[in-house]
Structure 1
């Protein structure tokens, strides 16, 4: 082996068992947190969320062309007001994970979410890719995001969703240090669970997401790349209806992630409206913000730990 070859990382197939186990155990799903009954005797919990990324997607990548920025601006000008009106019509509380720069660009929108009884939660500073940041930079951006949303609305966020839907080696430590009660970025279950760090319980509730229940993979368009919408909106409605129906049968959680600049278009918003009509036709539905959902499941954590040790 040459001297330069010795500086290359060891390929994963040569790792000792201790190495691959260390990576696996760093952040892991602990006990599932689905109560025997939801508040009010409900059969299913429905947690609808929106990520008002707006202009931060191109800004993150240093793209400043009016065309790319206008795509995001649509979410603020058109998508968000339509969504707020629809949620009010159906009396559905939602959680809005908003990048701090997006909130600074649209402060009235950020305040409108909390004024209308919705939850405003952290979604990074400028939709940065947290996996590429140093530990210090990641913590700084999360702290600044918390401070910004708190100053704009007078309410300190209790929940967080990483812009990358992923954890860096220090993300979990940062979130625990800042006192968040829940995260919504990981995908280890259909139901909420407690996050483990190196096999130890953290008390942090995970409300899992998935690309299946996200509008962006179905509808995102990149004029210069290979990303093209490939699914009819009503086909996506069928997928989401099936996801809800399964959660209803199992007595679990139906969680949904949407974006105002994506779902807010006319032919797509009709899908959300029809989905809410379908859900409303079922008795025993508990609509909750992500914070309310986390609170409903987290009180079981100590007792369940005791049971698991017995």
Structure 2
């Protein structure tokens, strides 16, 4: 075989392994790009005209106790990375629970099933303290890399595991990393979930629409702005570095709350015990909560309580903003 023939065979094998897409995005017909856009969309706003007890705004705090699941997902099994996750469970969670108890605040904990299996007492402890436990993947997997069958299997296993260990059947989901595959919504609906907290089409609650049809599922939209994980993490071997000083971040979060309060909307926060649970960052969270407490008319609620309220009000009060 000549060198030229060998090169041709190598190129043919390469073409077989990595086929080019049939069409590039700029070659799509209108029905193709429109179909992608409209598959999962924001429907009517579910922002109510009034919150319970006449509150001016709602505050929904959430924590994702990912612990060791992220390094495990990436096949990282050495003690160094795992110890950073262990910090979240060993130190971060006790600090967070003590803060919530001191201020009598409810919260939602979106917990990977593997983390619940590692620490059943932690999962049960959330519900025993009146908090909510929600779905957050099996091992913080990237669901966009899964086929629908495996994604469905993991999501159902996660719901069953959390129910068994926490004593509470999850009614909501936050997908790991807020990834959302083409199958995620259909599986969530099959599970009978009340709400999702992974999509970002609004500041306030809205109804999720699939292919132009209302689904009845509530979206409680998160945002990276209100997530501790974009400001503080550090990875020695990558370009990941802390984005800002903790005291600078609390200013962003205060502004987010102040605007939500002025608009009579929802202030939703996403935090991670292995991130926010460090001393200097707990000071920031305490300062934020103190700022919120200085305002009258705040309804503190779990994500499930917010979703149930806005959905119920949109169905029963035709004069509410949610049904307009």
Q: Quick check: TM above 0.5?
A: yes
Q: Confirm or deny: 8 A CA contact 2:315 2:323 kept in the other structure.
A: no
2:58 is aligned with 1:11: no
Aligned residues: 309
Partner of 1:164: 177
Q: Secondary structure at the match of 1:164?
A: helix
The reply on whether 1:188 has 2:194 as its aligned counterpart is: no
Which position in structure 2 is the counterpart of 1:43? 56
Corresponding residue to 1:218 among 226, 231, 236: 231
Moved over 2 A (4+): 2-9, 300-310
| Alpha-carbon shift at residue 169 of structure 1 (Å) | 0.7
CA distance in 1 between counterparts of 2:203 and 2:265 reads: 8
CA distance in 1, matches of 2:265, 2:212: 25
Q: CA shift at 1:303, angstroms? A: 5.8
The aligned residue for residue 44 of structure 2 is: 31
Match of 1:142 among 120, 133, 155: 155
Offset at residue 5 of structure 1 (A):
9.9
Is the counterpart of residue 53 in structure 1 residue 55 in structure 2?
A: no
For residue 161 of structure 1, report the CA deviation from its aligned partner. 0.5
Q: Which residue of 1 aligns with 2:76?
A: 63
Q: CA deviation at 1:230?
A: 2.3
Q: How does 1:198-277 map to 2 (within 5 A)?
A: 198-277=211-290
Q: Distance in 1 between matches of 2:78 and 2:35?
A: 43
Gaps of 5+ in 1: none
State whether residues 95 and 118 of structure 1, in contact with CA within 8 Å, keep that contact through their aligned partners in structure 2. Answer: yes
Matching of residues 32-111 of structure 1 within 5 Å: 32-111=45-124
Deviations along 1:44-72, one digit per CA (max 9) or x if unpaired, are 00000000000000000000110000000
8 Å Cα contact 1:131/1:164 also seen in 2: no
Identify the match of residue 113 of structure 1 among 119, 123, 126.
Answer: 126
Q: Write the deviation string for residues 137-181 of structure 1: whole angstroms up to 9, x where unpaired.
A: 000000010011111122111111000302101110000000000
Aligned equivalent of 2:5:
none
Per the TM alignment, residue 304 of structure 1 is displaced from its structure 2 partner at its CA by 8.0
SS of equivalent to 1:127 = coil
Q: Distance in 2 between matches of 1:182 and 1:298?
A: 10
Q: Partners of 1:173 and 1:74 in 2: how far apart?
A: 35
Normalising by structure 2, what TM-score? Answer: 0.92
CA distance in 2, matches of 1:269, 1:245: 20
Instruction: Tell me which structure has the larger Cα radius of gyration.
Output: 2
Residues 16 and 248 (structure 1 numbering): CA distance in 2 closer, same or farther, change over 3 Å? Answer: same
Residue equivalent to 2:8: none
Alpha-carbon spacing, 1:233–1:16, altered in 2? closer, same or farther (3 Å) = same
**Distance of 1:8 and 1:67 partners within structure 2:** 40
When the two chains are superposed, the root-mean-square deviation of aligned CA atoms in Å is: 2.1
Shift of 1:78: 0.2
